[in-house]
Amino acid sequence: MNILGIETSCDETSAAVLSGDVVLSNVVSSQAVHLQFGGVVPELASRAHIRKIVPIVDEALQNAKTTLSQIDGIAVTYGPGLVGALLVGVNYAKGLAMVLKKPFVGVNHIEGHIYSNFIENKNWSPPFLCLVVSGGHTLIVLVQDHLQYRIIGKTRDDAVGEAFDKVAKLLDLPYPGGPQIDQLANEGDPSFVKFPRALMKEKTFDFSYSGLKTAVMNYLKEIPEQEIRKNLSNICASFQQAAVEVLVRKTIEAARTFQINKIGVCGGVAANSLLRKWMTDEAAEYHLTVNFPALKYCTDNAAMIARAGLERLNQGYQASLNLNAYPSLQLEI
Ligand code: KG4
Ligand code: ZN
């Protein structure tokens, strides 16, 4: 079964072709138009998706040495995300499904991230605990079985990736800030400033990242500009330490509480080098298995959408041509 996956929920136009669970191609085009604004401009994102969707799908088909007539099913992200951006992918997928007379299915973007765990690790199976960390989401999900989720904890305000991006902006680093902070933090001292770790003492698996962002902002207001420049890597390392420590401690605690011995970590922030190392080390202490998808499957991509779509199509799910885009779509429970 050849599946074409399409992802347009934010600022990446992406298309992928899977043959069964094997990735034949995965093309991701990141929109450079937002760089000058220091964040994603929704209207510009929609327009860029419209320009890109046809050439990106063509490229994915070519790289996979496939043609549209060899596609057996289509999977498309229908939420959550920017409504105008989502609509481009959803309508394009509908058009293709109608013309090709092939089944198509809507995939929740978060479910796509969860399924990135299965792309390369063919031995991966539920139940497992999934930490989903991206620019828009921070949640711990108990994946009880395929397509069966229970949300254990989620952010009460900002997502962790959003905190990385906002702190980077305060430090005049280019968007997206996560990779920049990660790189600078490598040479910094994580104990330089003691930033707060939110909701660590409370008995909850929820997160909160707006306080950490505000703490960094207040700290920067007190320091002369040249001191900030001189200690840039120390400040980045201190912020990253606070942000990542909460993710690691809460996820491990959740795994122990729910007696689950496998942890999958996914979403853009799963590319973070400290998170990868710390989670791996801490999990080993408690004899837990951790899976991190390859970096290219952590940030937004259509291969993960196709992989989740494969599971849905196999289980008999199909969307009708009435499928809409849902900017605040929740993970089905
Ligand atoms: O999953 P993703 O591509 O898009 C969303 O669904 O939001 O995640 C993008 C987020 C951005 O906030 C970006 O700064 C963050 O992932 N990110 C990182 C790293 N690479 C990407 N954050 C921390 N460290 C990284 N290495
Ligand atoms: Zn994402």
Read out DSSP for 41-61? -HHHHHHHHHHHHHHHHHHHH
Q: Residue 317, by phi and psi: left (phi above 0), alpha (psi -120 to 50) or beta?
A: beta
> Number of C-alpha atoms within 13 angstroms, CB side, residue 299?
18
Q: Enter the tokens of residue 146.
A: 């395929």
Runs of H (alpha helix) within 223-299: 225-230, 232-257, 273-285, 295-298
Residue 179 in contact with ligand 1 by CB distance below 6 A: yes
In angstroms, what is the span from residue 134 Cα to ligand 1's centroid? 5
CA distance 129 to 151: 10
Nearest to 118 by CA among 327, 294, 300: 294
Residue 81 in contact with ligand 1 by CB distance below 6 A: no
pLDDT band at 133, cuts 50/70/90?
A: very high
**179 alpha carbon, closest ligand:** 1
In angstroms, what is the span from residue 178 Cα to ligand 2's centroid? 13
Q: If you ran DSSP here, which 8-state letter would residue 155 be given?
A: B
CA distance 317 to 333: 15
**133 alpha carbon, closest ligand:** 1
| DSSP notation for 57-102 | HHHHHHHTT--GGG--EEEEEEESS-HHHHHHHHHHHHHHHHHHT-
- Convert the pLDDT of each residue in 65-110 to its tens digit: 999 999 999 999 999 999 999 999 999 999 999 999 999 999 999 9
Here the contacts of 94-102 (C-beta below 8 Å, separation 24 or greater) are: 94/321, 94/323, 96/4, 96/68, 96/71, 97/321, 98/321, 100/68, 100/69, 100/71, 100/74, 102/71, 102/72, 102/73, 102/74
Biggest CA pair distance of the chain: 64
pTM to 2 decimal places: 0.95
pLDDT at 333 over 80: no
Is the CB of residue 89 less than 8 Å from the CB of residue 8? yes
* Range with the poorest average pLDDT among 151-160, 171-180, 310-319: 171-180
- Convert the pLDDT of each residue in 143-171 to its tens digit: 999 999 999 999 999 999 999 999 999 99
- Convert the pLDDT of each residue in 252-302 to its tens digit: 999 999 999 999 999 999 999 999 999 999 999 999 999 999 999 999 999
Residues 6+ apart with CB under 8 A from 170: 216, 217, 220
C-alpha R_g of the chain: 20
Q: Enter the tokens of residue 267.
A: 């979403």
Beta bridge pairs of residue 101: none
Q: Look at the block and give the residue holding tokens 């962002």.
A: 213
In angstroms, what is the span from residue 270 Cα to ligand 2's centroid? 11
Is the CB of residue 185 less than 8 Å from the CB of residue 164? no
* SS3 at position 12: strand
Percent of the chain with pLDDT over 70: 100
Confidence (pLDDT) at 248: 98
Pairing of strands 138-145, 148-154: antiparallel
Confidence (pLDDT) at 138: 98
Residue 182 in contact with ligand 1 by CB distance below 6 A: yes
Confidence (pLDDT) at 201: 85
Q: Residue 7, by phi and psi: left (phi above 0), alpha (psi -120 to 50) or beta?
A: beta
User: Phi/psi of residue 310, each to 5°?
Assistant: -60, -45
Residue 293 in contact with ligand 1 by CB distance below 6 A: no
